[in-house]
Amino acid sequence: MQNILFSFGIIILIGIAFGRFRPGGLDADHLRLAINVSVLYIFLPALCIKTLYLSRIDIEVVLVPAAAWFAMLAGLLLSVGVYSLAEKSMNLKSAEKGVLVLGATFGNVTYLGLPVLTGLYGNEAAKYALFYDLLATTPLLWLVGAALASRYGEGERLEIRESVKTIASLPPVWGIFGGMALNITGVPLPSSIIKSLDMLGSLVVPLMIFSIGLALSLPKVRHAYAIIPAVVIKLAIVPFFSFLAASMLGLTGDALASCLIEGAMPTMVLSLLIAAKFKLDVSLAAFLIVVTTVLSFFSLPVAVYLTKYLVN
């Protein structure tokens, strides 16, 4: 695990350095946008199709997302309750509260979770990251998280049909269902197509890790101490909820371990875009991402260590 995180750390530092020194005059935000769009529309859908086409499809396709839904909803309710009680004592603005609630709930389950799981358990474990993200985190983010963000922020109000439209239009979602359909129907794909999908999908991990580095910065934050409950909820309590739900649903082995590890991922980088879209505190969102990402290099090894004793 340490070797995996050390390798990720090097790539993240390269991304940070690239954003700082701007070789070729490239702006980090523009480069990150280009990478994210490429991953979203080309590389991640290819990975979804290849992974689900070659993987064993069983009840885990329902149970892993169910555990994720339980964990994130529990974390969301807990964070709303905590920050509602602490709002006055911490002198929090609504835009700050919204960022903290979202950051405590939604993790970097693809950008960091996917490479961690595949590094630990092999390419077969990629399906657990995809299930956890595309069948749980992404729908919950747009159906509930974005709706909350629109209430806390001063930007546009989000209607439910817009959320559903956003989810339905995501290429990776089509990729995951397309891969499962090809798998279940037994449609044979030429080896050249599988090889092409494999080559495209293999770019997802390094590009996503590099993109994290491009996104990280250390902003000035008015209420730095206010992130403490969000950090504890995200890195300690949500993974407990995820493991508890997965255990109660009967998951075992790599699937159970993956749910615990995915629950322990730091705050998702996408929360920056959500914060900007709904006019929340972008600086606080960036600070929470930085802190949880740095701390995850210590907390994730603990989560992996626990799986050796808790997972059958």
**Whole-prediction pTM value?**
0.88
Lowest average pLDDT, out of 6-15, 34-43, 143-152, 219-228, goes to 219-228
66-90 pLDDT per residue, tens: 999 999 999 999 999 999 998 888 8
In CATH terms, the fold of domain 27-213+225-310 is Na+/H+ antiporter like fold (1.20.1530)
Specify whether the CB–CB gap between 273 and 36 falls below 8 A: no
How many residues can be counted in the chain? 312
pLDDT digits (tens, 9 = 90+) for 130-189: 999 999 999 999 889 888 888 887 756 667 777 788 888 889 999 999 999 999 998 899
Residue appearing with tokens 């700082």? 20
